[in-house]
Amino acid sequence: MTKLLEIRDLKTQFFTSAGVVRAVDGITYDVAPGETVAVVGESGCGKSVSAMSILRLIPDPPGRIVAGSIMFDGKDLLALSEAEMREVRGRDIGMIFQEPMTSLNPVLTIERQITETLEEHLDVSKAAARQKALEMLNLVGISDPERRLKQYPHHLSGGMRQRVMIAMALACGPKLIIADEPTTALDVTIQAQILELMKELTRKLGVALIIITHNLGVVARYADRVNVMYAGRIIESGDAVQIYHNPKHPYTLALLRSVPRMDQARGQKLRPVSGQPPDLTKLDEGCAFRPRCDFATEQCARAAPALEEVEPGHISACWEKAKVGLVEAVG
């Protein structure tokens, strides 16, 4: 099948006074049309930067995409002019952000914020844009949309605002939605609702979805594929079942132990990943995870392991990956 999005060896760096932050350090992954791909990792591992790189919204200075390619729908995004890139943003790729409280403009009505995307990208009249905005609010399950259109963000709860963000992202009929921790800031009950809504809508509309999260538990139910990121790299990638039941990287394993699981006895202790993520300005040639790794050997200090297949469709970057599943089985 032809891919919708192909990211190849993408590197994004920030040139700060403290040094060069290697926020995204050579990531490669694909998204097929209609597919849901999760990007998982601890805070600060480069998830947001990788997402913003796809839309070319990295603040420059200090940031810059220094290497790699991003093919989207037959176009090389990194080769597009700024004007061509603007056409892609909001029309072909929609984006949903983490903070619903601050991601909507407080001084503009909901209507204005939805219709402006339509007016920018589609050749629509004001009335048609308004009609479309109404439809979108209906679609994302906002009751009394007529009234909501006239309101301002501060009238809406966090969950509602995130629904509005989803409506905005879907308004122009994009092929891909990137959702950057869309539920992290919400109540747990609302989180499930929003995730369900996104799953349902992307299925229904055939839109591909990249969902970014630091919670592996969240993605198990919603993602087709999972990319686990650590220190700016993808260290393990596979389908949801493989990652969830047969992790082949010590970091994935640690992440899994830090979230509650359905298939686990109740009362089992959750263990947060011990240690601190590395300083992205001071990465050496070894594996970035080794200071926190139970499996680390001398080899890990000498060179960073490459991603290698452990089973069809499942890759892991670990020198000791053969042992990882084993210990899990014993423990």
Partner 1 sequence: MWQYVFKRLLLMIPTVIGAAFVIFFLLRAMPGDVCELKLGGEGAYVDEAQITLCREQLGLDDPLAVQFADFVWGIATLDFGTSMITGRAITYEMGLRFELSLQVAIMATIVAIMISIPLGTLSAVYQNTWIDYIVRTVAIAGIAIPSFWLGILILLALLSISEAMTGTRWTPPLDYVPIWEDPVYNLSMLIWPAVATGYRYSAVATRMTRSSLLEVLREDYVRTARAKGLVEKIIINRHALKNALLPVVTVIGIEFAFLMGGLVVTEQVFNLNGLGNLLVQSVTSVDYTMTQGIVMVIVLVFVITNFFVDILYAWLDPRIRYS
Contact pattern for partner 1 over residues 45 through 64, marking x by CB under 8 A: ----------x-x-------
The span from the CA of 217 to the CA of 188, in Å, is 13
Q: Least distance in Å: CB of 95 to partner 1?
A: 4
23 interacts with ligand ADP by CB under 6 A? yes
Nearer Cβ to partner 1 (105/125): 105
The span from the CA of 162 to the CA of 99, in Å, is 8
Choosing from 4, 5, 7, 14, the residue that interacts with ligand ADP (CB under 6 A) is 14
Q: Which stretch binds partner 1 (CB under 8 A): 24-32, 152-160, 187-195, 265-273?
A: 152-160
106 interacts with partner 1 by CB under 8 A? yes
Contact pattern for Mg ion over residues 178 through 207, marking x by CB under 5 A: ------------------------------
48 interacts with Mg ion by CB under 5 A? yes
Q: In whole angstroms, how far apart are CA 131 and each of 45, 52, 134, 277?
A: 41, 30, 5, 48
Torsion angle of the four alpha carbons 288, 292, 297, 300, in this order, in degrees rounded to the nearest 10: 0
Q: Least distance in Å: CB of 191 to partner 1?
A: 19
Q: Least distance in Å: CB of 49 to Mg ion?
A: 8
167 interacts with ligand ADP by CB under 6 A? no
The span from the CA of 286 to the CA of 3, in Å, is 32
Greatest distance between any 2 Cα atoms in the chain: 67
Residue 28 belongs to what H/E stretch?
strand 19-31
Q: Least distance in Å: CB of 186 to ligand ADP?
A: 17
- Helix axis angle for 126-139 and 158-170, nearest 10°, is 130
The span from the CA of 264 to the CA of 278, in Å, is 30
Residues that bind ligand ADP (CB under 6 A): 14, 16, 21, 23, 41, 43-49, 59, 62-63, 280
